[in-house]
Amino acid sequence: MEELEKLLAECKKLVGYEGPVRIALKPYKLKAATANIKSRTITVNTHLLDLGEDVIRYLLVHELVHLKLNSRYHDSVFHEELLKVVPEDEVRRARHMIIERLLEINNVRRGRRSSGPSLD
């Protein structure tokens, strides 16, 4: 948790978001992380914490961009902000690792992704 807080402070600087933010943990089955715009809370899936600092950084940056923009949408403005901070290949790598882990914890077989995990 202490490391998460440290990483969060680092990511806030990267994103350029200076507002309040609380961090919480939950063993989600289908979500990587969520940002509650009203309560300014980022909740990270505990199942992903051991995927490495780059993945956690991607998750925190992603959710912080939602808070910065006050928007849950993944529109072009969102992606522009995200890619200012995390290079595209790193985004792709992080998303791949997250999806694989979520599929693993749900025992989902490859090729059956229609009702699979979401990366919100």
Q: Which is nearer to Zn ion, 47 or 109 (CB)?
A: 47
Question: Residues 40, 20: contact at Cβ < 8 Å?
Answer: yes
Q: Which is nearer to Zn ion, 58 or 101 (CB)?
A: 58
Q: How far is the CB of 112 from Zn ion (least distance, A)?
A: 23
**Residues between 91 and 120 that touch Zn ion (CB under 5 A):** 120
Q: How far is the CB of 72 from Zn ion (least distance, A)?
A: 7
Q: Which is nearer to Zn ion, 10 or 120 (CB)?
A: 120
DSSP 29: S
Q: Which is nearer to Zn ion, 90 or 120 (CB)?
A: 120
Q: Which amino acid does the sequence have at 63? A: E
Q: How far is the CB of 2 from Zn ion (least distance, A)?
A: 25
Judged by CB under 5 A, the number of residues near Zn ion is 1
| Three-point CA angle 24, 84, 82, nearest 5° | 40
User: Contact between 10 and Zn ion (CB under 5 A)?
Assistant: no
Per-residue H/E/C for 45-108:
EHHHHHHCHHHHHHHHHHHHHHHHHCCCCCCHHHHHHHHHHCCHHHHHHHHHHHHHHHHHHCCC
Q: Which residues bind Zn ion (CB under 5 A)?
A: 120
